[in-house]
Structure 1
């Protein structure tokens, strides 16, 4: 899930009147007479890709490409050690794999900068940090035979991401580090894909030391913004319609949107408050919202996804189940051997899972989290963020995310590492 209201509004405005929009940018720059939009290089962060961004702040970074069994080429980013602490190259460290949400990328974990971005914090705490990128986002738009301009490239949902992409990247991280197990941290769809993986491939339980699910999304009976819930009953129809008219990808990374963020949402812009108001669509927490960072975030978010990923969530909302993607009755029989899309078998999940949820998160209602915990086969602990106004995106960008969430996550992971060392 992402800042859909602001993003779609900017995109629609840009598509409808590109010349007027561009002229408005020029007027804004002239009226504010700013040489540097922020005065401290933040605008540059919006245009840098993840490896460049990490290097800018003095951290080591490595880039890997892995190929899935169905020929998608995925990019992984690695921060092998810290800059100020735990900074000895080549030292043995516990491995943590991090998976982003829908319409996002590995940038989620670094965009807020050192001391704020969870990837940097984990590196300084002594972890070997691996950042995944799902098929179809800006870093994983390659395939051995298909092109992103072809409809066939986009014939996937988060079922394939969980069943194929995540295991492939986990195996690569373990092979490169010589480890047998790692920690897993996911946000939103990054948690969904984990539940998919272990439901369909329970052998991966043995490769997981611990799983920390930030804003866990599986059941969505009570969750989701009003617009998404309203569209859920028509998800199959909309998916077929989008396919017919050639809409296979939704909200790819956009230079136009980045420039819109730089001009409309920067400090000093008369339109900055409009960017704040747009947050009401997905849940706005003024207490945790750092408006200065919005232009940077819009340089990295959205990062692209398939229309089928959104349709799959809509199907689960409608059915009130956690099930595989429903194609058609005939195709379901060919793929699954059943008329209906089968339910994910959450009882197969035996690795220790920690479900971090927030009371104000419209994507993870407590009743849905409780249902998830009940169906997980192993140990699943529910942890409520101790701030009533904390919401879905505060897990990534909240001003106090470190003290409210990350410190707890690190304590949990280190407690398991102590057990393994004993």
Structure 2
């Protein structure tokens, strides 16, 4: 049967790849001596599609800053050299991190798990993917629905770009603290969230929510979702002629070598290299050579690429599409607005309550990172005025008074150092604000259904 032959061929290909890997195991060399201001990491391995993204993903997931990189994967061999630092621009000396890099990229490393999208929950949480039209208060509405359905948001990443909003949210059952496995309940969650995302535009947002498997790399999935949503096409429509902070991306063919050369100049930021490599990989391009330099405030990146079928960029339309997609990949993570950091004991409904306060004070969330670590909620929000005006400092001060100045901080605010509140954190968000609703016991609060 055809399916049997196909399966056998796939199996032979997998076994051949394993054989090549055993014969040419990856080699990782970490050098803290040769460079004055960075740790040098060299990775040598048999070449395969997507390996560059795997390596970059490991480094960025460790929150390392890649200041320089040299990439060479021509032929059957792959070699990368990275100069990396921590966020304080220091060399990496933590033995645990260095050991993790060796194990993740060396001979004992495993291939990245393939992503799947369906309705199957993960082992300890259920992952919910959302994409739809952005509007003020959307995150508040979504989190309120999840709280009403007795779902606790333990981790989430929310991006907005070109009038679109995408989110990957990991939730657990409020009562059991485990993944939600009831298919009927998952169907209700999906339906209600779809209704929220549709808003008044029933046609535009007909397919905006899906409950997916928990084993998803969040940042890559967000790129894939927004790419599939074709957010990059709306750049020309929504740009209004403004080039503010727009990256400089150029694509030209190098006919002598049958490559296309991509050059990128833009403001540097963490995870910039990941965002670009992720997009090129998902667009089915292979990076054969690359050079990255981002030691200053600006980043310069150059890549020699071919499509996975071996051809360079074939037409001006394809060239424009590559440029648009890379511009979108760079700008999706650019954080517009004021950065607020919240750290407190986690509880069910916390995200709903905090984002409701933002909405009631005419603030819209442009990006959010929600995490739960050892029972603590560690959340970062980027907010701006819903009407487009600069955020009023008096509104931020009022919000901090409501939630608690020791709980919600303005990142980089010059006044922060002088605002050392002597009040107990429980006097704010978990005290006065909800006193009329009979909430009590810090960290053990429950929402009424």
Q: What TM bracket, shorter-length normalisation?
A: under 0.3
- Bigger fraction of residues in helix: 1
Radius of gyration: which is bigger? 2
**TM-score normalized by structure 2?**
0.23
Asked which structure has the greater RCO (Cα within 8 Å, sep 6+), the reply is: 1
**TM-score normalized by structure 1?**
0.24
